[in-house]
Amino acid sequence: MNNSFATLGLDLGGAHLKAVLLDETGAARWAMQLPCPLWRGLQHLEQALDQVLARLAGSNVRHALTMTGELADIFSDRRDGVLRLTATVAQRLAPENMTIYAGRRGFVSTDQADESAADVASANWLASAEFIAAQVPEGLLVDIGTTTTDMLAIHQGKVVPCGFSDAERLRTQELVYTGVVRTPVMAVVNRIPFAGEWQGVAAEYFATMSDVYRLTGELTEAHDMADTADGAGKTPEDSARRLARMVGRDLQDAPMQDWRRLAAAFRHAQLQLLQDAVQRAISRGLIADDAPLVGAGAGRFLVRQLALQYGRNYVDMADLVHGDPEARQWAAVCTPAYAVAWLAARSMPWRQ
């Protein structure tokens, strides 16, 4: 990369704002994820943006934007979300130094957001896949985040999606609405083995998958930003108490070891959902039989296990990023933000 400007990639999600700064050489200088519960109002995005921009400290920076937050229910529809999110960001950034990722259309200016809204909406997965395709010419990208999982085939250096809209991608299972933090446990399975019996699972928002992965020890504390289902703490006992409610019990009804076994059972159930999607993707014959799985997102520890189960090599997103070790790890969590910065820094209008 030969760009006289640093590039800040922003991914506006419905629950988090993700930001990655690339320096003039293309190295990741820093990356960060901030809570941003859009369903509670745009002021949360404004506050998160202020924290990101304060860290820039007057640097000479261009900005690249992608999003999924237009789905938040404060917006009347996705177009309304795209326009209001874009306007909110533009109030804090100079529009002439800002570009918006519009998927198959590439990058567009802020004044083209209206006509490009359908392409801008929830296109961050394609930015991630385009970056991965430039590094790993054959593989299956599996980006497991806090709320959703994106699964994209890459063949001969090209992304080969079967769907583009959320509706199409949900049908093809290239978008799976399951993640390692915010997903309600009730959305994963409706019965679970407990104490040697099959136990019905309450269809109530008693616990989330973050409770599961706290008890399995796999959820990194820094990635655990979302509120708990009951607004209480995040200790192992708190998580076990919430999981106990899912099977109609109280924490004191069983020893902690049993609740950890229950967490492992819920983990297995979620992994089965992901296995089904991986198997369907492989069955399409779009990638080579020896193509690796590429893991990204806060839940990429599950992708490593999926690769083992399918006898394929595993490639970690952090190993594809150039930069500071800590920034590389956070860039792997914030893959769309990193990818949109990387792509924007290479687009012709940005070259000096």
Q: What is the secondary structure of 234-276 as a DSSP string?
A: -SHHHHHHHHHHHTT--GGGS-HHHHHHHHHHHHHHHHHHHHH
Would you say 221 and 278 are in contact if contact means Cβ atoms under 8 Å apart?
no
pLDDT of residue 309: 95
Sign of CA dihedral 50, 53, 58, 63: negative
Of 142, 162, 186, the C-alpha closest to 276 is 142
Local structure of residue 8 (DSSP, 8 states): E
pLDDT of residue 349: 54
Using CB atoms within 10 Å of the CB of residue 283, give its burial: 0 to 12 exposed, 13 to 18 middle, 19+ buried.
exposed
Looking at the chain, the domain(s) classified CATH 3.30.420.40 span: 6-126+322-350
pLDDT mean by block of 10 residues, the chain; 352 residues: 78 97 93 96 97 84 96 96 96 89 95 95 97 98 98 98 96 98 98 97 98 97 95 98 98 98 98 97 96 98 97 98 95 98 80 42
Q: How many CB atoms lie within 10 A of CB 328?
A: 20
User: How far apart (Å, rounded) are the C-alpha atoms in residues 52 and 323?
Assistant: 19
pLDDT of residue 2: 47
Of 110, 101, 163, 170, the C-alpha closest to 131 is 101
3.40.50.2000, 3.60.10.10, 3.30.420.190, 3.40.630.30: which CATH number matches 185-271? 3.30.420.190
pLDDT of residue 95: 80
Would you say 100 and 87 are in contact if contact means Cβ atoms under 8 Å apart?
no
pLDDT of residue 132: 98
User: How far apart (Å, rounded) are the C-alpha atoms in residues 77 and 262?
Assistant: 39
Could you please state the CATH topology (level 3) that the domain comprising 6-126+322-350 is classified under.
Nucleotidyltransferase; domain 5 (3.30.420)
Q: Looking up tokens 């199409």, which residue turns up? A: 168
Q: Looking up tokens 């599950």, which residue turns up? A: 302
Which long-range contacts does 170-175 make (Cβ < 8 Å, 24+ apart)?
Answer: 172/280, 173/276, 173/277, 173/280, 173/281, 174/125, 174/150, 174/277, 174/281, 175/125, 175/148, 175/149, 175/150, 175/151
User: How far apart (Å, rounded) are the C-alpha atoms in residues 313 and 13?
Assistant: 30
User: How far apart (Å, rounded) are the C-alpha atoms in residues 62 and 344?
Assistant: 9
* Global pTM value: 0.95
Local structure of residue 152 (DSSP, 8 states): E
pLDDT of residue 347: 80
User: How far apart (Å, rounded) are the C-alpha atoms in residues 116 and 11?
Assistant: 17
pLDDT of residue 96: 83
Helices 325-333 and 335-346: angle between axes, nearest 10 degrees: 100
Question: Tokens at residue 270, please?
Answer: 């979620």
Looking at the chain, the domain(s) classified CATH 3.30.420.190 span: 185-271
Q: Looking up tokens 């902690």, which residue turns up? A: 256
pLDDT of residue 351: 42
Q: Radius of gyration (Cα) for the chain, nearest Å?
A: 20
